[in-house]
Amino acid sequence: MGPPVFSNVAYVILGFLAPKNVAPLSGYDIKQRVDISTRFFFAASYGQIYPELKKLADAGLIEVDEEAVGARSRTTYKITRDGRGVLRDWLMQREARIEMRDQGLLRVFLSEGLTGSERIEKLQAMRDERAADLALLKAIQMPPEAVELKMPDLVLDYGLGLYQYVIDWCDRTIAELKKGD
């Protein structure tokens, strides 16, 4: 057996529960937070979150907050001392794999057989999608004075610049392809 093994989603949960002055959160709450933040580089579905909450509670890394909020039935959790320790251990690990599946880029890569204008169309499609993503990120961004957590804000800045790079690359490449007929 050994100690329970936690998925990455477990650390997302612990991470959202860890900051001081964060109220206890429900599975639903966590999902909402994921959807407006880590989703762009690390998604999580209910099918992962709810079972993982149970596992974490069984292992004593989080605990149910007994002071139920209002009448509506909801179970909120707060992180325990042990939970903080486990989160810290995971954060300190250096290994960090990155996985990507970019269908649009794959289409561009494989578009050798298309005509010149069709290839440009592929790049344009890629550009438009990134521009839409960028707009979503900008909508999330808080005014500097309202930023309460530094690291999430930095990561958002990273995303903003990244999508902008992609958009610029697409524009440059489209222009180049047009020039070369």
Partner DNA sequence: CCTCGCATGTAACACGTTACATGATTCA
Partner DNA sequence: TGAATCATGTAACGTGTTACATGCGAGG
Binding site for DNA (CB under 7 A): 5, 7-9, 26-29, 43-48, 50-51, 53-54, 70-76, 101
- The partner in contact with residue 113, picked from DNA, a copy of itself, none with C-beta cut-offs of 5 to 8 angstroms by kind, is a copy of itself
The number of angstroms, rounded, from the C-alpha of 30 to the middle of its chain's C-alpha atoms is 12
Closest CA to 38 of 11, 76, 12: 12
- CB atoms under 10 Å from CB of 36, counted, come to 12
Closest CA to 173 of 121, 96, 95: 121
Residues 139-178 that bind a copy of itself (CB under 8 A): 149-152, 154-155, 157-158, 161-162, 165-166, 169, 173
- Taking the C-alpha atoms of residue 98 and residue 125, their distance in angstroms, rounded to an integer, is 24
Selected range binding a copy of itself among 48-56, 63-71, 114-122, 136-144, rule: CB under 8 A: 114-122
Closest to a copy of itself by CB, 11 vs 77, is 11
Residues lying near a copy of itself in the complex (CB under 8 A): 8, 11-12, 15, 18-19, 37-38, 40-43, 84, 87-88, 90-114, 118-119, 122, 125-126, 129, 149-152, 154-155, 157-158, 161-162, 165-166, 169, 173
